Structures are given as C-alpha cells and as structure tokens.
A and B are shown apart, each in its own frame.
Chain A
C-alpha cells in the first residue's frame, strides 16, 4: 500500500513539522504566561473528515480530544466554513473538553475543494464564570465555569472578528489578553496553512492527500502488531476520585481491559454516574486518556494519528462520570479525572504485566488559579498554572522528581515571568524530599511551591487530587506521600481542601505540596 517508503517518511515528518511550527508560532505570539511560558497549547493537522493526521507532541489531554472538536465544527457549521474563515469551539458537550480550552479550526482548500484542517487548542487563563481562572474549586453547573461556545465562525478574511466573540470578551476578566491569545491561535493556523501548502507544492497535492490514508493505514498496522504480541489478556482495576468538591467522596472509577488478536477493549461500566461537582469528564477527554495509555505503552515510536486508536474499542456509559450529560460541571474532569483514568488502566495492566507498568504518578495536575485586581495597574488579572510532582517508578527506572506526568506536559511558570505579570511573589520552589514511594526503584518526589499574594481581595482556586488517597506502588513498591494545600496568613497555616475556592488579603501565602510517585518492586 505504501508506494515509496522514503517519500512516505519525508511527508510524514513534514506534517509533524507543520504542526510543530504551528505550536512554536502560537507560543511565540501569545500574550498570557500560561501559553507563552507554560506552553499549554497543542496543534495538529486533520483530514477533511476531521481525523487526526499528524500532531505536534504537546499536551496529551488536548491531542486525543481535538478530533472531536474538528468533527463538531464540520457537523454543525461545515458548510459555512469556507476559505479564509476559522471556527471556534469550547463547548464540552459539542466536542470540547473544559471551557478554558479553546479550539480554533481552519479549513484547508485546494482549488476550491476542502482537503484538510489545521487546528489548535490553547488553555486560556480566564473565560469568565464564578471565579478567576475559570477553574473553580466548587461548581455544579457548566455555566458557572465561563462562556460556553458551540462551533461558530470567528475569523473572516483571515481577520479575527471581535463582534463574533462579544460574549467571551465580556465574560472574561482579561479581554486584552484573550484577544492577544486568540490572535496567536489564528497565527498558528495561518502558519499551518502556509506550511501545508509548501509540502503540497513540494510533493503534489495528490501525493500529500494519499499520504493521509497511508499514514492511518501504517499506524493502525503497527499498533495492531504491537498489541498482537501481547496475546490474549484480561484484567480489571478500580481506583477512586477522592472528592468532587460538592460533598461526594471516594467516587469509583472502574475499567475492565482486554487485549485479543491485536485489538484492545476498555470498558468503564461500573464507574460512578455523573456527579454534582466539577470532576465530570467529557467523553473526548476520557478517550484522550485511553489513547494516551495505549500509545505510551505500545506505540511510542508510531506516528500518532487516527490509525493508532482504530484498534481500540472503548465503552463509556452515557450519563456516567466519564461521559456526562449537559449541564454537568466539568472543569476539573479534563485535568484531574483524566489522570485517574490513566491510573485505572495502568493499574489493570499491572495486574497482568507489572514488568512494563510504572507505579502511579502524582495523579493530579495541582491546578492553581489566583485572580483579582492588580493594585499597581487597577486592572483585573487571572493567573493559572499546574504544578508537577513525582513520577511513578518502573522496573529498572527511578521515578523523576518535580515533573509533569501523563495527561499534561506543560512547563513551569518561570518565577521571573510570573512576578512580572502578576502581583504575586514566589517564596519557595523546591523538591519535596522523600515524598516518593520507596521500593526497588523509588518513585519521584513532589514539589513545594509557596506563592505570596501582594494585592487585596484575591480569589484562590485549587483543583487537586491525591490529598488523601496515596499514589500506589507496583509489585511491592511502596505508595507515595499525598499532596497538601494550605494558606499561611500572619504566620498561621490553614489547611485547604483538595478542591477549594477561598479569598485572601495581601500577605496571604499559598502553599502547595504536590504528591510523589509510587515505588516499583520491594525495597
């Protein structure tokens, strides 16, 4: 089926570099520290039906979920998505994941025919809602989490139309930053369109479009052969979300996995029904977590595209925690619940194949948002970051300390960038020694981060997990220490819930200690 193997690889790599250049352009032109410094954004190329063709290796939780956004745009407004236009979407029930993740989709035309899409997703530091950062500790309805936007055209003649995003700009606390970031997203798609056209000129459109098919065929075949090597296996595992922020605790998440004849099956039947709080995880994000695990375990060197997951069959009951119905609150689902989905699938594999499975990593992203009015300028600000922790150890490998694991791979916010942009000061930023689980191979340590607030009346929101239930070890390895959130005011430390939203005056210190990773094998 693949006619010219060298050309195939050249084109395959060219498509990946298209996506990579999109990402570089996006962060080079972005305004918010979360995108320009932390690189909380992802870019990819899709075929004309919205299937993933090539991606830049950015943020796993974005990548596996983006095809659904592109497909929602095609379905809802495909006909009006003409040349020079781009569509925006963030609605978790229309192909989105959570509201801060805004996806911008650009169609690619060749001689009047739609041939592909370039799209990117970026996490905006504020899209409105009840608390700055749009990642509230406690929300029970999607509309408390910010502006909900179903697919709509926002770029016309390659120009961002402000009137098309009026609702977003009036909902957000930081409209200027949003415009800057949306322009950057437009830039990324522009660069994608330009580079894709260059690849087409170099090899011919026909060859390029045929390679889309070849890529999917190739990745499917390789994934299939990787799974075939496992033979037949079956296992199940249950882990828990410790809280939903609205009062429910120890919410079960169960997966039954099986591999047979080169095909993988994951069944989440038995997991909790959707909950009142915001840990509900939209289907796109759930699938994204499943795809991540299978690619990481069996297809690291396979080009990532739709072919990789065409060998997977995933069952997620409607109305469950992992496939919730409108108007469920979802803001923590995408960032926290997806980490647990990874744990559950890895946990199941560890029952039968412990030698290839790492112990649990920190199992949270430690989402921290701080917002209010900057007394120096009189303008609103909204700071958001996630904080790394310990990675789980594997057979033969110690877990790394202070690193982002599994579904995210953002960078830290440099202290100097953070303080230049916000009325905040970092007092401590250190490895949390001895927080990883002991074992034949020790898990990685978490991080201690202390941020002082320098302006009055700030809202602090935290979405975190693994504050009570420890990241587990594998094969006799010990569990890691749980994380810990608190605020310190006038020298007194006050403990905070894993999911909280609180107000604090100037001088409040937010202290986050992130969990370690589990150990592997007996000490």
Chain B
C-alpha cells in the first residue's frame, strides 16, 4: 500500500510518502495556509509526488491530521449554534455541574457557554427515566420551532432533550422536520453521545454543532481536491484518540477530531521511542507556533475526557498538553520590565524577523539565529534563507527594553521559553507522580531539537533521542498509525434480567460494523484484529469498569461476570459477589496493524561537505567556535562532543557543552550528558 501522511501545523504542513514495495519514504514541507488549510495540504501532496516521480493514482491511502477543529475551539470561531432542549432546562448548559475547578478559588469563573441564552429554545415535551412519554411532542410545537429557525437562518442546530438515549423519537422528529426545511448543520444528542447525564450530553452535542460546519466543509473541499490529484486514494483523518475515520464519514463526528492534529505526533514520537526500546518517553513536538508534550509510559494514554480552550470534551483523546511555544513565539517585555516568550506566534506569515517577510517581532528563531545555533543558509535545507541582520535588529529591540547586552537578551529568550516548556513537562510528569528524570526526551518538530538540551538540563533529564526526521515526526506518526475503528453501543442489561443475550448480539454486530468501516478504509478483512470490551458495574454504581474479553468468546455473559469480579477486586480490594451486575456499553475496536516498521537502517550519505566551524554564543555569553556537522554525513556510532551543531534539512540539533551525541544504526541520534 502506498500511503501519504499529511500533518498540518500552525506554521508548516508536513507530508511523508511511504512506498511499501520498496519500503522507501520521502518527506516534504510547505508553509501552512491557515485561512484554508487544504491549499497547503494539496500543494504538499503534489510536490512530494513530483519529487518522488510517482503518479497520484499510485497512492492508495492518505492519512491526515488536522487542526481545523482545535483552532476553532481555541479561537472561538465555530458556528453560531442554536440549542433545542426540554422546556425548563434551557440553562443546564450554562450552569454546568455547579462546582469550581479549584476549591480555594474565590473568583472561580466558568467558560462562557457556546450558546447564549437567547439562542436556547425550550420545547414542551417530557419523557421519564424509564423512557415513557408523559408530555408528547406536538407537531404544532415542531412547526413553530422550524418556522422560527427558518427565519433566523442558523448555521448549526443542536438538539438535546432529556432521556433522548432512552427515547430518541422526539429528537428524531425535530431533526427530520429541520432537515427538510433548513440548511443548518443539525445534530441530535441521541446520536452524538447517547449516554445519561444531561449536561455532558448537551455540551458535547453543542460542541459537535459548533465544529461540524467548519470541519465538514473543510473535509469536503479537501476530499474534492484530493480526488483531482490522487483519484484512487482513500482520505482518512486521524481522530483525537488515534483512531482513523473516513473523511466522508465525519458527519456527527466532528467533535472526535478536536485534537486530531496532536495525535500523530504522540504516536510518531512513541513509535520512535519504541524503536530504541524505551519504556518512558517524553514526546515534545515543537513547531513554529506551539509545543505539544506527552508523557508516555509503556503505551500512549487515552483519556476519557479532555479540554480544549476551556471547553469540556467528552470524547476519548490522546493525553497531550499543548502550550504556545514554538520557533515563531514572540518575545516581549511587559510594562514592569519582565521578559515573556509567547504564547503569540508570528506564524509562517510574516514569520520571524529573520524571514525577511516584513515580520518585526522578535521570535525564538531570531534568538537562535543570533546565537549561532541556526545556519542562515541551511534553514529548511536552504529552502528559506534567514537574514542575520534582521534577527540581530530584532534581538536588539528586546535587549534595549531590558537594558542588557544582545547576548544576554538572546539567551534570556531561550531561557524563558525553556522555562515555559519545563512547566508543561512538570504538569504531565511530576503532577501525575512521575519523576521526569527517569524519562528520555524525544524532541521533534522543526524547533524541538534546537532547544532539547536546554530543556533537559533544566529539569534534570540526561538522555535525549532525536528521531531521524524530527521535522516530520507527526506526519510519520500518521503513516505508521494503525487503521483503527472504535465502535460502541449502549446495552443497559442487568444480570437478573432475561435479556442478557443482547450483549453478545451487540458485540457481533459491532464487530461487523468495525469490519465494514475498515474495509472502506482499504483493509483486507482477514488481517483485521478485534478487541471486545464491556463496560460493567454493580447494580447501584454509576461508573463502570472496562472489562476485556477475547473476541468471539463463547460464554460472553459468564466470562465477563467472572472477569468483572476479579477486576473489581484487583482495583478496589473487594468484590460484591451477591450484588447483581449490569452491562452498560459494548465496545469493539477493529485494528489493521501497520505491517512493518518503516524506520530503515541508517546509512551514511556523503554530501562531500566537510564539518565546518561556526561561532556560537554559549550560556554565559561567551562566543565559541564550535563544530557543525551535516546529519547525513555522520557515520554509525560516531560520537560528537558538545558544544556542537548538527544540521539537517528539517531541523537543527544543538548539542550543549557536556553532552555527547551518537548517531545510531536505527537512524536515531542519541544525546547523553557526559559525567562531570
């Protein structure tokens, strides 16, 4: 299978082409086009095809990581949403759960709801907890809502009625009526999140409506463009949880793409870490705009819920922390005279001052260039030339505001930005009880390896693993991600009922659903692996334990009961053998594992360019001549002592004093702190 992975970052759009027959990869990078992400995506695909002399029709699969949904949430640029809900409960979305995030915060604030009060419509209908209708929904009521909404022409509508997971008919009738007469993106809570707890279900449904028009519009445009270039390719997007989704199946699932763009980096970084047999890795994906950090111990962690820009997400996602720190992060001095770096970024346009595209802000990249860590003629392999004079002028602005030398200002910018990242690392390690010093830092993205040593030193990490192509590791993650489909169904069955057979029926049906979806993504049925899971609890509890059972198990009921008691005892120290058990949700995961590692053995490629020296300003402000290497010139096991610089087309690795770099046979570059 020939696969293209495309990852859209805030600054660059990265693409990697993998040809299975020859096990060859080719990587490419173009500036992102934030106003219309698809332009850069198509450009990147066209260019990588050209470079590798392949035809578009040779491509079978395109896996895409997108930040369209993430950006809409961060910048609050989603659709204008109207909410239709049960009368009397219009404020559920505003009240939330009544609690405050920090018990000691006397000024606790709540995120402004995505639907203001004047766009919430209460409908006269009521269903009981048993799913029995006590106030029927009248057609007149539906008509008047439709009429009212028609005149307002909303972009999106969320329907969330009480107990819709038990009685979806009321939502369905409103939905049908609206679809007939209204062009708005309309979603119902019984489809988006058919679970109890009205606030969580409603807010997730509203978020789906908020993101849907943007995400679907984008995927539709992209799909059409992709067909022109690669007519046979299936286009899939990576979901927040690392699963894959056919781009044409995204309706009602936009919220699942909330952090699509972050999943690839964690998967890619962890894949690299595994190639070096690491157990604990801190993946640090630092591009032009932001830095995404994840602590991985033994496997990528999926959280059941998450938050983006203060908006709660009730959909599973990769555990990753994002901060505004990248090469384009802007350094500024506040009115008290304190230096800050970020979270604002100069992005790709106008970009850092040194890009010479009219940018006047001082950025991290300008500081790195001034300090000599970056080569003005070999940024992006020479694809973009940097202007040292502009960088120097930018740094001098900061120096003037601070009243210090240029050297101290530039080093200060690095130090402040390092401190920001260290704080994020603390959150994903120390605050979860991990000692960061026991992790290996895996820096990637265009800017990660340039600052990895600074970060490692300030948090006490003494081992760093730089991937073979750090600049495109997220895109790499996309092509090495498994094709994976997660499907679930609510079952709600009790052990003392007589309908326990619906559990195995549900699992078989879900397996079939997962298979069909994966086949549509291009999988061959016999090579699909399945996982069966049941969410179970004791009657009386309202939280479940996830119990895995072997796929196609014979006695699903007995087997899952046995496992549940054991698991409950393991987790909580007791089992309630005389209390009936309930099954709440059946889940199936279908997975097509990517067959082989696409990392290849490292081979030195002589470019004929000998090591040179360049002046670099080290910590303390001393200018020192250091050796500069080309990554591809390094021999296997060659040791490079710091201070030195290793350049490659997609990044620059800075090796600080007291550090030693070694190019490994598997393609990775390891950095270790020397004994002092």
Taking beta carbons and an 8 Å cutoff, which residues of A are in contact with B?
6-7, 9-10, 13-14, 16-18, 25, 27-31, 33, 36-37, 39, 57-60, 158-160, 176-177, 180, 183-184, 186-187, 190-191, 194, 199, 202, 292, 295-297, 299-300, 358, 387-388, 391-392, 394, 397, 400-406, 409-412, 414-417, 419-420, 425-431, 447, 450
Contacts and interface: CB of A to CB of B under 8 A. Distances in A.
A237 to B, nearest CB: 17
B152 interface: no
B511 to A, nearest CB: 28
Contacts of A58: 103
B80 interface: no
A43 B109 CA distance: 25
Most buried by B among A191, A392, A416, A425: A416
Interface string B88-110: 11111011111110111111111
Given A17-B432, A429-B92, A358 B106 contact: yes
Mostly, the B contact residues are loop
B541 A431 contact: no
A223 B117 CA distance: 42
B509 to A, nearest CB: 26
Contacts of B96: 402
Contacts of B100: 400, 403-405, 409
A279 to B, nearest CB: 23
A7 B197 contact: no
Contact of A177 (B95, B105, B540, B543): B540
A366 to B, nearest CB: 11
B542 interface: yes
Given A13-B432, A180-B540, A402-B98, A296 B196 contact: no
A191 B109 CA distance: 32
Contact of A416 (B129, B543, B573): B129
Contacts of B98: 387-388, 402-404, 410-412
A155 to B, nearest CB: 10
Given A29-B572, A176-B540, A191-B573, A411 B88 contact: no
Given A7-B435, A36-B542, A411-B99, A397 B107 contact: yes
Given A37-B542, A191-B572, A416-B198, 12 more contacts: A7-B435, A9-B426, A36-B542, A36-B543, A39-B99, A158-B573, A180-B541, A391-B106, A400-B110, A402-B95, A417-B197, A419-B128
A25 B88 contact: no
A448 to B, nearest CB: 9
Contacts of A13: 430-433
A409 B386 CA distance: 54
A292 B106 CA distance: 11
Given A17-B433, A403-B99, A416 B94 contact: no
A25 B571 contact: yes
Enumerate the 3 nearest inter-chain pairs by beta-carbon distance, A residue then B residue, closest first: A190-B573, A187-B572, A14-B433
A487 to B, nearest CB: 18
Contacts of B574: 158-160, 183, 186-187, 190
Interface centre among B90, B94, B97, B430 (most CB of A within 10 A): B97
A494 B611 CA distance: 90
Contact of B88 (A10, A403, A429): A429
Interface string B430-467: 11111101000000000000000000000110000000
A190 B572 contact: yes
A432 B543 CA distance: 32
B163 interface: yes
Nearest to A304: B104
Contacts of A60: 103-104
B569 to A, nearest CB: 10
B378 interface: no
A40 B538 CA distance: 20
Interface of B: 88-92, 94-100, 102-110, 128-129, 162-163, 196-199, 426, 430-435, 437, 459-460, 538, 540-543, 568, 571-574, 576, 579
Nearest to A33: B542
B571 to A, nearest CB: 7
Contact of B99 (A6, A409, A420): A409
Given A37-B542, A177-B540, A415-B89, A447 B433 contact: no
13 contacts: A6-B460, A25-B572, A28-B572, A29-B568, A33-B542, A180-B540, A191-B571, A296-B104, A392-B106, A409-B99, A412-B97, A416-B196, A431-B95
A411 B162 contact: no
B95 A412 contact: yes
Nearest to A11: B433
Given A13-B430, A415-B198, A429-B92, A59 B106 contact: no
B110 to A, nearest CB: 5
A84 B432 CA distance: 27
B413 to A, nearest CB: 25
Nearest to B199: A414
Nearest to B163: A416
Select the residue from B89, B129, B459, B571 with max chain A CB neighbours within 10 A: B129
Nearest to A418: B129
B128 to A, nearest CB: 7
A410 B99 contact: yes
Contacts of B197: 414, 416-417
A403 B576 CA distance: 36
B576 A183 contact: yes
A11 to B, nearest CB: 9
Nearest to B126: A425
A410 B196 CA distance: 19
Given A17-B432, A28-B543, A358 B107 contact: yes
A296 B49 CA distance: 60
B129 A29 contact: no
Contacts of A417: 196-197, 542
Contacts of A400: 100, 108-110
A414 B160 CA distance: 14
B92 A404 contact: no
Nearest to A429: B89
A239 B460 CA distance: 52
A363 B548 CA distance: 48
Contacts of A300: 102, 104-105
A71 to B, nearest CB: 23
Given A58-B103, A59-B103, A411-B99, A402 B540 contact: no
- With most chain A CB atoms within 10 A of its CB, the pick from B95, B430, B541, B572 is B572
B563 to A, nearest CB: 17
A199 B129 contact: no
B441 to A, nearest CB: 15
Contacts of A184: 572
B129 A409 contact: no
B541 A30 contact: yes
A447 B95 contact: yes
Contacts of B426: 9
Contacts of A7: 435
B582 to A, nearest CB: 12
A401 B162 CA distance: 23
Given A404-B100, A420-B196, A394 B107 contact: yes
B460 A414 contact: no
B543 to A, nearest CB: 4
A421 to B, nearest CB: 9
A327 to B, nearest CB: 32
A431 B162 contact: no
Most buried by B among A29, A402, A403, A420: A29
Given A13-B430, A187-B573, A415-B89, A27 B543 contact: yes
Contacts of A388: 95, 98
Contacts of B540: 31, 176-177, 180
B107 A295 contact: no
Nearest to A4: B460
Given A190-B573, A429-B91, A431-B91, A10 B430 contact: yes
B163 A429 contact: no
A31 B89 CA distance: 26
